[in-house]
């Protein structure tokens, strides 16, 4: 039981030190959140801006613009799933980059993280193109 005062004497200053370091961090001290995420306003973006989204090509971007012209602005980002070619799984990939108000802040194309097949280099190194003959 004599260790309790020693433990308290050590824990309180260490805890206080870690909190003071945290409070001195610029982002925490100023009350700032993380830097804003780059987004595309799907109600104002042109096809070229929509093509900056991961896995969105010219055809899908044109479909989004046409849907918006025919049905009016999107009320929620989830309404994008009404566009042919945007299902739930694909939407989850896009959602972090979508907005229905404010400016478009995504300035360059976001690459898709995974690819369905192997890369071109892997295909080339895997086969030489020549058939082997049986001896």
| Per-residue pLDDT at 70 | 97
Would the pLDDT of 17 be above 70?
Answer: no
Counting other chains too, the contacts that 46-50 makes at CB distance below 8 Å and 24 or more residues apart are 49/104, 49/106
| Per-residue pLDDT at 104 | 93
Query: Is 124 a member of any domain?
Result: no
Query: Is 88 a member of any domain?
Result: yes
Query: Is 21 a member of any domain?
Result: no
In tens, the pLDDT along 67-124 reads 999 999 999 999 999 999 999 999 999 999 999 999 999 999 998 765 454 444 444 4
- Residue 52, domain CATH: 1.10.150.310
Query: Is 11 a member of any domain?
Result: no
Would the pLDDT of 34 be above 50?
Answer: no
Query: Is 70 a member of any domain?
Result: yes
| Per-residue pLDDT at 12 | 53
Cα distances (angstroms) measured from residue 28 to each of 17, 19, 31 = 15, 11, 5
Cα distances (angstroms) measured from residue 27 to each of 34, 35, 104 = 8, 10, 24
Query: Is 104 a member of any domain?
Result: no
Would the pLDDT of 4 be above 90?
Answer: no
Query: Is 3 a member of any domain?
Result: no
Domains in the chain: how many in total? 1
Query: Is 4 a member of any domain?
Result: no
DSSP 77-113: GGGGGGSTT--HHHHHHHGGGEESSS-----SPPPPS
Domain that holds residue 53: 43-99
């Amino acid at each position: 039981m004599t260790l309790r005062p020693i433990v308290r004497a050590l824990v309180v200053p260490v805890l206080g030190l870690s909190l003071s370091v945290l409070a001195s961090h610029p982002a925490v001290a100023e009350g700032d959140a993380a830097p804003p995420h780059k987004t595309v306003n799907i109600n104002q973006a042109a096809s070229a801006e929509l093509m900056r989204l991961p896995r969105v090509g010219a055809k899908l971007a044109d479909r989004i613009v046409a849907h918006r012209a025919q049905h009016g602005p999107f009320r929620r980002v989830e309404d994008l799933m009404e566009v042919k070619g945007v299902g739930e799984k694909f939407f989850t990939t896009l959602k972090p980059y979508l907005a229905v108000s404010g400016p478009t802040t995504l300035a360059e194309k976001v690459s898709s993280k995974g690819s369905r097949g192997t890369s071109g280099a892997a295909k080339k190194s895997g086969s030489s193109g020549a058939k082997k003959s049986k001896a």
